[in-house]
Structure 1
């Protein structure tokens, strides 16, 4: 198996280059579906059945399993979308410099898609029976919160014993064993327009009201308890000499315990139940959209198995927690032992400096394949 993977390193890089050079931002449906078609063909050539879940507004999702699979106990999840808009590839396509590969989505997570594919290829050639124990879900909307794929993830996590999620490993190679929960909210303020020079007293500034609310919302942050509230986007007004009649804020919240969700929502509603600028009106929309990925006993047991596999192949497996959201939160919340960060090592995801550590590609592919093998005979 190890020899096969090492021999395929160049082939894997070629496929990564092909995938990276396809724009597949979350709203670039045609690009996501193109990637899906490429991967669908590869899996079907191995005797896997690919069920395409068609989506109107987002990229299609792929549900993949061996044609003779009956009750797979392992679910593997990866996403095909990136955060980059259409046209990004034309500006900065895939390239290699030294021991690193660069390009939009190269590590988050085009390389993970290839790692997963070749881990399955290695298993299919070495021990095809193992392949009957896996179900693979490739979704097209993870970077925007998995709005259409979440029900699919939750449905197919039911009855599984293990979930391996293919987000990239951290820069130091660590796997991810816990993630904070979070949600997105929108604060909409309506005021009354007036000329700021001629009759400002007749106006009711939506921007002023929003400013009060931003300060109050930010004061809910408590880093010691793992609570953060961040107004990341604001929009309002029509001209500099007009008292603004509308303003909107986009709010991101993160929590470290599920009990904090009810507390935060209650406090946000209290803050928005009254105005500081008379004559304005406020509307709060949103919800907690991602549950926590908790480090529990079953996750710890799964981590120990992966550590043992790592020792066998010469990789020291470490783990960490992260504040970012991901699909692992959904599998964890359904009660499935979940480990995230099973992809190759890289860094600077979501930026123009995103990179893959090329030499980690074959070793992480081997780690994934051997883990699947180990879990299938436990």
Structure 2
């Protein structure tokens, strides 16, 4: 398979260039659907059935498996959306400088689509039937928390033994074996407006109340145990000489273990149950929208298999934990052995300096193909 992939490296890069040069931000339905159509055609050419899950607001999701597949044991997850707005490609299209390729979404995760596609082509070229043991889910809204695809991912993951998630490898090549869970909340304060010079005593400052709450919320952080509470965005008031009658804050919460959710939510509710500034009203909206991906017994066992595969093909596999979210949390929370970060190596995702390490493209595609081969041997 390695020879096949080396012979097709230029073709893989051309494929990545093609899809990088299409804007496909999470809210750009037309762009994401264009990516989806390209991928659909490529997989159909390989004998895959493609089910389209249509969406009105976001891009359509794709579910694919080979026409000869029967109850695949492996689910592969990858997303087609990026964080970049329409017009980004015209400002900085795909380019290669030395051993790195640049462009919006090049590593998160358009290069991973080439990895999956060409891993399957490599298996087919070798006459290895591992490609019949996979079900692929490509979603369109991962970068905004997978609001329309989470239920699809969870549905498709049921009954699967292994989940391979195609987020990029870390800069040092590490795979991801655990992720913190994530919650998004909005705290809304209603006060009473008044002129700050003429009759400030008649006002009830929503901003003052919010200030008290921000301090209390940040005190919930327990970094040693993987809990962080961050008020990252605030707004309120109408003018400098008016006691504010409205203020709100966007709160990002991260947890290490599901057991932490109940106590943390109780503390949130307690903070918001009463006001420090008399006469203000408080409401809290939101939820924990991604469970943590925990490094449990099943995941450790899958990691050992992948490390053995790495040893055989000459790649040293390390793993790491990260605070960022991904769809790996959904499969892991269902009890499916899950490893993330199986895409190529790169860095600076979500920025204008995002890059792909080109030498990792063949290497990581070979790793994925060989993992599929090995897991198929264990499940058939």
Query: Residue in 2 aligned with 1:105?
Result: 105
Query: Residue in 1 aligned with 2:287?
Result: 287
Deviations 1:190-239 (A, max 9, x none): 11122222222222111111111011100111111111000111111122
**Counterparts of residues 142-157 of structure 1 (less than 5 Å):** 142-157=142-157
Query: Residue in 2 aligned with 1:3?
Result: 3
Query: Residue in 2 aligned with 1:35?
Result: 35
Deviations 1:30-82 (A, max 9, x none): 11111000000000011101101001111111001001111000000000111
In structure 1, C-alpha distance between the alignment counterparts of 2:14 and 2:205, rounded to whole Å:
56
Note if 1:124 corresponds to 2:124. Answer: yes
- TM-score by length of structure 1 reads 0.98
Query: Residue in 1 aligned with 2:73?
Result: 73
Q: Tell me by how many angstroms 1:287 deviates.
A: 1.1
**Counterparts of residues 215-234 of structure 1 (less than 5 Å):** 215-234=215-234
Query: Residue in 1 aligned with 2:376?
Result: 376
Stretch moving more, 201-210 or 358-367: 201-210
**Counterparts of residues 1-378 of structure 1 (less than 5 Å):** 1-127=1-127, 129-378=129-378
Stretch moving more, 200-209 or 145-154: 200-209
Identify unmatched segments of 5+ residues in structure 1.
none
Aligned residues between the structures: 378
Deviations 1:126-153 (A, max 9, x none): 2252211100000001111111111111
Deviations 1:325-346 (A, max 9, x none): 1111100111111110000000
Deviations 1:281-322 (A, max 9, x none): 010011111111111111111111111111111111111111
In structure 2, C-alpha distance between the alignment counterparts of 1:71 and 1:258, rounded to whole Å:
30
In structure 2, C-alpha distance between the alignment counterparts of 1:236 and 1:4, rounded to whole Å:
59
SS at match of 1:132: helix
In structure 2, C-alpha distance between the alignment counterparts of 1:232 and 1:185, rounded to whole Å:
11
Deviations 1:323-374 (A, max 9, x none): 1111111001111111100000001111111111000000000000010011
Q: Tell me by how many angstroms 1:240 deviates.
A: 2.2
SS at match of 2:77: strand
In structure 2, C-alpha distance between the alignment counterparts of 1:331 and 1:236, rounded to whole Å:
39
- TM-score by length of structure 2 reads 0.98
Stretch moving more, 367-376 or 120-129: 120-129
In structure 2, C-alpha distance between the alignment counterparts of 1:6 and 1:351, rounded to whole Å:
29
Q: Tell me by how many angstroms 1:11 deviates.
A: 0.9
CA contact (8 A) 2:128 2:373 kept: no
In structure 1, C-alpha distance between the alignment counterparts of 2:312 and 2:334, rounded to whole Å:
31
User: Over the residues paired in the alignment, what is the CA RMSD in angstroms?
Assistant: 1.0
